Structure 1
Amino acid sequence: MVFKKVNYILLAVSIALIVLGFVLMLGVRSAETYNPAIYSSRYITIGPMISFFGFLLVIPALIYRKK
């Protein structure tokens, strides 16, 4: 077996963080042409940071080996 249980748990957490980040970046649908809410910190800072940390967590999830 290539991966252990810890690797799968870390990989699942990292995928969940990536999905959460992308969900946070989803904008609201609006009938009007301009909505200033698209510049909220949730869309432009928090969502991308969470996704980035999720992508970073994939690396240790793939290379971690229990001693």
Structure 2
Amino acid sequence: MAKRNPSKKTDQQPKKEFIFQKKNYTFMFIGIAFIALGFILMGGGGTDDPNVFNEEIYNFRRIRLAPTLVLIGLGIEVYAILLNPHNKD
């Protein structure tokens, strides 16, 4: 039976690894940027006088473009979470 040398570590420590890698975080930041841009584009269109209605609230940017950007951003976030960075495809 061989003696163990206490100066050498034969037990290897398990490698600590994050769940997400750089590629995941890159897509997450892109998704956050899309969502933030969508919410920024949704803002505005109000009026200082509460008795005056402003039709600007119903323009294309606020009704179609901004919500579409938010949904695209959420889709990118889901993709970033499900992305396997170790896959070599």
TM-score, length of structure 1 as denominator length: 0.92
- RMSD of equivalent CA atoms: 1.0
Deviation at 1:27, TM superposition (A): 2.1
Q: Are 2:65 and 1:46 aligned?
A: yes
Deviation at 1:21, TM superposition (A): 0.3
What count of residue pairs does the alignment treat as equivalent?
A: 67
Whether the 8 Å contact between 2:24 and 2:83 is mirrored in structure 1 is yes
Q: Are 2:61 and 1:26 aligned?
A: no
Deviates more, 1:7-16 or 1:20-29: 20-29
Question: Which structure has more helix as a fraction of its residues?
Answer: 1
Unmatched 5+ residue regions in structure 2?
1-17
Deviates more, 1:2-11 or 1:23-32: 23-32
Equivalent position amino acid for 2:76 in 1: L
The Cα offsets for residues 5-30 of structure 1, whole Å up to 9 and x where unpaired, read as: 00000000001100100110002331
Identity %: 31
Runs of 4+ in structure 1 off by over 2 angstroms are: none
CA distance in 2, matches of 1:18, 1:62: 16
Q: Are 2:18 and 1:13 aligned?
A: no
Whether the 8 Å contact between 2:46 and 2:54 is mirrored in structure 1 is no
Equivalent position amino acid for 1:6 in 2: K
Unmatched 5+ residue regions in structure 1?
none
